[in-house]
Amino acid sequence: MPLVSPSERSITPGTLGLYENQEPLTVERVVVHRRRLQLVDPVETAFGRFESLVRLYPEITFRSQSGEAVRGIGECSPLSAPWYDGECEGTVDVALGFLVSSLTALGEPITGITSFVARLDWIVGHNVAKTGLEGAYWDAVAQLQGVSVSRLWGGTRGRVETGVTVGLQRSPGDLVNKVRAVLDQRQIARLKLKVKPGYDVTYLEALRRSFPDLRLQVDANGSYDLFDQEHLDALKCFDDFQLVMIEQPGQSDDLLDHARLLAHLDTPICLDESIRHATHARQAMECWGEFSTLSKLVINVKPSRVGGYLEAMRIARLCHDQGVSVWCGGMYESALGKAANVHLSARQELNLPGDHAGLTPYFTENIALSPRDQGGWIEVPRGVGWGLGDMQRVFESP
């Protein structure tokens, strides 16, 4: 297959239709707020179990040339240990120290998202920290313009489809009961089920017997060995369950073997942990074009995983241009991060339900009210910035 064309290098803020702030803004101050949020229900996946999460909120105060001060707030959403992408609350703390210094040390003004992101690029990786800072930038510019972030991002939808995720359960019977309770409480666009070897085929059989028409996908979090025949046989059995996709079955840093070893599956394969930036997305498409077909590839864009919202939009556009389905996943964000993902999903390129709703509220206490879902849909906040009302009061600077 020839190289994907146009490549990711041609996808710029201009071609994405993003608002480019032309007024020079000077970074006057950066404060990082820290909150430990207790989960309503502990979460168990293939990579671990956690009961609470630390969320970090970079708040940047910018000063315009006219002397006007404006604050923006973003969210960093790490897991409690480096299970998923090598990051955790400790690494985010360290990275923010370096990144904040790069924003404040020079004193040179910022014009547009390209110049802001360029201030962070000297740090390799640490995408969770970069995402929180970029979110603060977009919030501040939206405050200056008096519009929602989705307007700056070229979002055209007023509401987006959303689904819920069910973690690993002790038995197939427990899973059926859990899903039944979910469906009794609410309408959902789709359900995502966590799986791993030994917690897969019999669970899916029981679920499909009880809910034959449920829009269903599974997420393995890299728990299958694509060179183990028993694991490959189990993944092939997934074709019997009419799944929307199998998310990240193989190891987290792989692009080639997913395409080469799973081309015979009928069910589309979604890459999550494997995609760290737009170049990875393009390389994955070239692999699938060679060994299978792009119609069997799906990509999950999580801003925290790919280093920010601009990069997530670049990946989404590349997917759209190549006919690859794309959607926005989540990292158990608080209300701010969840709202940001909803704003992102308002763009037309994202064409599958995202991870924007929980079985219950994620946290016993939150920083604001999350966007509400109803009937499988969630409204895109319409207020200025993230559109979360009195959230700013929670982070009043000392």
- Residues 6 or more apart in contact with residue 341 via CB below 8 angstroms: 303, 328, 330, 333, 354, 355, 356
- Which of 130, 196, 296, 302 is labelled catalytic? 302
Q: Where are the domains of the chain?
A: 8-149, 152-389
Structural domain 8-149, CATH architecture: 2-Layer Sandwich (3.30)
Give the pLDDT of residue 398.
Answer: 46
Tell me how far apart the terminal alpha carbons of the chain are, to the nearest angstrom: 57
pLDDT digits (tens, 9 = 90+) for 271-295: 999 999 999 999 999 999 999 999 9
- Which of 130, 194, 296, 338 is labelled catalytic? 194
Burial of 31 (0-12, 13-18, 19+ CB in 10 A): middle
**8-149 shares its CATH topology with 152-389:** no
Report the top-level CATH class of 152-389.
alpha beta
State how far the Cα of 351 lies from the Cα of 189, in Å rounded to an integer.
Answer: 12
Q: Is 302 a catalytic residue?
A: yes
- Give the mean pLDDT per block of 10 residues along the chain (398 residues): 70 96 94 93 72 95 93 95 88 96 86 94 95 98 96 96 90 95 88 95 97 96 96 98 98 95 97 96 96 96 97 98 96 94 97 83 85 87 89 60
Give the pLDDT of residue 394.
Answer: 64
pTM equals 0.94
